[in-house]
Amino acid sequence: MATKLNEVLRGCRAGRVQSVGLMQVIPLLAESDNRFSKPSALVVKTSNYGTLVFENKETSMQIVPRDSGYLTKSGSQDHGMPTTRILESERNLTYDGAACIEESQGGYIEGDANIIILPFPLREASLVTRDVNSYNKLWKYIGAFNKAMGLPSGGGHINIFLREYEKQLARFVAEFEPVPGQVGAIVIIGGRIVGVERTPSHEYWLDIWEPMIRECYGSLVLYFERNMKDTLPRLRKPLAEDIISLNDLATDLRDVEELELVETSNVVNALMEEEFTTEVDEERAGFTIETLMSTQFVGQTIREELNVVYASITATKDQVHRDPITTELFQMTP
């Protein structure tokens, strides 16, 4: 089967672009579907290395986010969930294809984990290996990622990166703000679309927003910042230098904002026609989970007939790879 991105985003409209440094975020606004609880309400445990157990104690349904990570401060091994899943109210779900992301740390998670979304460069590997039942499947990718960020590879320890870059990652939460009615976002880094995220409701979005912008997309910005020489992101335009009056300045500001909007819209519109092949992963409770692939993106959606309630679509290494300096980062992806 095939689908296009404009079908995935049906019902959404764009909010005003937020732009800080290399990253731009286009809020996606839509009516909220309040049938789903927020992800942090899930109780998450491990029953074995590589096996995550999700307990939905709420009276509403749950969506486990794609590439979510579960980190604990106690002596347990952190885990990543490579695929999205739906969970009915007051039900449990066991998934055996999870990945350990803290190589030499033993111990099972006992319901005290904090949720993250995996750093962007790990997400493609995480998704395409989702059906591989091997708890150590992401270790080499994590090690390569740490090395690419100038850290000792440390094996499969995501915490090496998260600890070292904690302050820098925190600034992304400061710089971008969720807006009323927001259920998702299109994320642009260095002038290229790197992610399309859609969640069922504003409440769900608010719950997942910080780990999304911080650990996931923030990590990609940090890598770009280590290597990019540009001082402005591709879609950010400067004001004219030779302005002589305030009225001219006001006009120039309006023109620049209009130009940025047009260029951003062009980038986004080009994406809307992107065609994806789809493969059904699971059908449950009247919803269909599909994995989407194209030459430039991979991702997943959850549909109820034609209505998409959840989508998480990220750029492949080829899409991000259009600039030679990013080759090193993505050599580790399959």
Partner 1 sequence: MELEVIKDRLAHIPSSDYPAVGKSFVHLLDTLATGAPRGSFYNKQAEIVKAIWDVHETTFNIDRGLYGIMLAFPGVMDYSKQIGMDLLLDNPFNGVSFLTVGQEKKLLQHLIDSMPITRQLKTFGRFADARINNSRTRKLILRSILNDKELVWHAVKYRGKLRKALVHAWGQRMSSILQSILNKWGERESLTSKEMNIIYSTIDRHLVDGMIVQTTNELLETIRFILGSDVVENPILKAYIDANEDPEKLSALPPEVAEGKRSVFHKDISPADVLKKTAKKATVGQKISMQKAAKKAGVEMEFDPSKYDAVRLYVYAYEMGMTDEIKDVLKVKAQEAAEKLPIAWDNVSIIVDNSKSMEGHGTQKMRPIAVAMAMRDMLMASAKEGSKVFGGHHELPIPVGDTSIASAVINAALMEPDAIFIITDGYENAPAGRTAEVIDRMRKMGNDTPIMQLTPVFSAEAYGTRELSEYVPVMPVKGPESLGIGMVKTMLEVDFERGIQALANVTNRSVPLLEAPGEV
Q: Which range binds partner 1 by CB under 8 A, 56-64, 243-251, 268-276, 316-324? A: 243-251
| Cβ pair 195, 217 in contact under 8 A | yes
* Residue 167 vs 229, nearer CB to partner 1: 167
Q: How far is the CB of 256 from partner 1 (least distance, A)?
A: 9
| Cβ pair 215, 223 in contact under 8 A | no
Binding of partner 1 at residue 137 (CB under 8 A)? Answer: no
Figure out which of the listed residues 17, 142, 149, 216 binds partner 1, where binding follows CB under 8 A: 17
Tokens of 214: 């911080």
| Cβ pair 50, 36 in contact under 8 A | no
* Residue 1 vs 246, nearer CB to partner 1: 246
Q: Which range binds partner 1 by CB under 8 A, 50-58, 232-240, 269-277, 310-318? A: 232-240
* Residue 173 vs 228, nearer CB to partner 1: 173
DSSP β-bridge partners for residue 80: 69, 99
Binding of partner 1 at residue 236 (CB under 8 A)? Answer: yes
Binding of partner 1 at residue 14 (CB under 8 A)? Answer: no
Q: How far is the CB of 172 from partner 1 (least distance, A)?
A: 10
Look-up of token digits 């096996």: 51
d(CA 141, CA 323): 21
Figure out which of the listed residues 179, 228, 261, 293 binds partner 1, where binding follows CB under 8 A: 179
Please count the residues of this chain forming the interface with partner 1, following the rule CB under 8 A.
Answer: 32
* Residue 20 vs 293, nearer CB to partner 1: 20
Figure out which of the listed residues 2, 6, 13, 16 binds partner 1, where binding follows CB under 8 A: 16
> Who contacts 146 (Cβ-Cβ below 8 Å, separation ≥6)?
152, 153, 154, 157, 160, 161
Q: How far is the CB of 115 from partner 1 (least distance, A)?
A: 16
Q: How far is the CB of 18 from partner 1 (least distance, A)?
A: 4
Provide the mask over 98-117, with x wherever binding to partner 1 is found by CB under 8 A and - wherever it is not.
Answer: --------------------
Binding of partner 1 at residue 243 (CB under 8 A)? Answer: yes
Binding of partner 1 at residue 178 (CB under 8 A)? Answer: yes
Binding of partner 1 at residue 19 (CB under 8 A)? Answer: yes
Binding of partner 1 at residue 249 (CB under 8 A)? Answer: yes
The dihedral of CA 29, 33, 34, 39: what is its sign?
negative
Give backbone dihedrals phi and psi of 111, rounded to 5 degrees, phi first.
100, 10
Assign residue 254 a region (left: φ > 0; alpha: ψ between -120 and 50; beta: otherwise).
alpha
Q: Which of 133, 136, 137, 59 is nearest to 95 (CA)?
A: 133
Figure out which of the listed residues 55, 112, 175, 318 binds partner 1, where binding follows CB under 8 A: 175
Q: Which of 145, 177, 179, 182 is nearest to 164 (CA)?
A: 145
Binding of partner 1 at residue 250 (CB under 8 A)? Answer: yes
C-alpha atoms less than 13 angstroms from C-alpha of 164 in its C-beta half-sphere: 15
Three-state SS annotation for 195-239: EEEECCCHHHHHHHHHHHHHHHHHHHHHHHHHHCCCCCCCCCCCC
Binding of partner 1 at residue 238 (CB under 8 A)? Answer: yes
Residues lying near partner 1 in the complex (CB under 8 A) are found at 16-21, 24, 167, 170-171, 173-180, 236, 238-241, 243-247, 249-250, 253, 260
